[in-house]
């Protein structure tokens, strides 16, 4: 109700300004006499017109408010979708880092094993060489040397496999991205 009274006051003030301007224009000879002699306050006939104008303003303001609410809801949905996408990418990156660390740990373990087995092989070969130089035939040293060499070959193979897994682990995302880009 107070809005209606406020609108009526504003409209009355505007009409007064118009009348004042019309009287000034009439004095200059630009406007006929009947336009200047209108009452200063809205009468019963102009009241429904003022109310209709206020209703139209109110309807327009509500329409604008609804549009803003709709735009706000759309923006909230976009933000929500972006956050979900960001969370998904973050999870993917964390998974990739975890997988990379696992591959690196596996490769390091295999390389340590390879170093250990090669050190044992060198030691046994040195013992075998000393036995041959001394003219001794040590069958257990020959067996140990062959076992160490087999272990070294297995460790080399495992280290190579770990390295290949690491390389393939790095290539898979690239190949998947290329396939997705080619498909879409």
| pLDDT at residue 118 tops 70 | yes
**Entry pTM:** 0.45
Give 39-83 as a DSSP string: -SS--TTHHHHHHHHHHHHHHHHHHHHHHHHHHHHHHHHHHHHHH
| pLDDT at residue 35 tops 50 | no
pLDDT band at 158 (very low <50, low <70, confident <90, very high): confident
In this structure, is residue 156 part of a structural domain?
yes
Number of domains in the chain: 1
* The token pair that represents 47 in the structure block: 């009241």
Show the CA angle centred on residue 59, arms to residues 58 and 62, nearest 5°: 85
State the average pLDDT for the chain.
Answer: 80
In this structure, is residue 1 part of a structural domain?
no
| pLDDT at residue 31 tops 60 | no
Of 26-35, 143-152, 174-183, the one with minimum mean pLDDT is 26-35
Domain limits at 176? 43-183
pLDDT of residue 74: 92
In this structure, is residue 37 part of a structural domain?
no
pLDDT band at 184 (very low <50, low <70, confident <90, very high): confident
In this structure, is residue 22 part of a structural domain?
no
In this structure, is residue 57 part of a structural domain?
yes
pLDDT digits (tens, 9 = 90+) for 46-85: 556 666 878 888 888 889 888 998 988 898 999 999 999 9
pLDDT of residue 104: 85
CB-CB contact of 19 with 36 (8 Å): yes
In this structure, is residue 26 part of a structural domain?
no
In this structure, is residue 82 part of a structural domain?
yes
Of 23-27, 66-70, 97-101, 102-106, the one with minimum mean pLDDT is 23-27
In this structure, is residue 25 part of a structural domain?
no
* The token pair that represents 102 in the structure block: 């696992």
* The token pair that represents 70 in the structure block: 């709709």
State the Cα–Cα distance between residues 61 and 54, nearest whole angstrom. Answer: 10
CB-CB contact of 16 with 36 (8 Å): no
pLDDT of residue 19: 81
């Amino acid at each position: 109700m107070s809005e209606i009274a406020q609108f009526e006051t504003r409209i009355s003030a505007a009409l007064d300004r118009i009348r004042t301007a019309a009287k000034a224009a009439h004095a200059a000879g630009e406007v006929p006499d009947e336009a200047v002699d209108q009452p200063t306050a809205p009468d019963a006939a102009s009241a429904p017109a003022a109310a209709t104008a206020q209703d139209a303003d109110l309807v327009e303001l509500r329409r604008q408010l609804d549009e803003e609410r709709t735009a706000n809801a759309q923006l909230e949905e976009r933000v929500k979708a972006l956050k979900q996408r960001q969370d998904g990418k973050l999870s993917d990156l964390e998974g990739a880092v975890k997988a990379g660390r696992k591959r690196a740990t596996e490769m390091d373990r295999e390389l340590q094993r390879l170093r250990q087995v090669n050190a044992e092989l060198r030691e046994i070969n040195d013992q075998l060489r000393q036995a041959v130089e001394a003219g001794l035939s040590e069958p257990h040293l020959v067996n140990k040397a062959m076992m160490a060499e087999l272990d070294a070959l297995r460790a080399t193979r495992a280290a190579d496999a770990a390295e290949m897994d690491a390389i393939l682990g790095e290539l898979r995302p690239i190949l998947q991205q290329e396939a997705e880009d080619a498909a879409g």
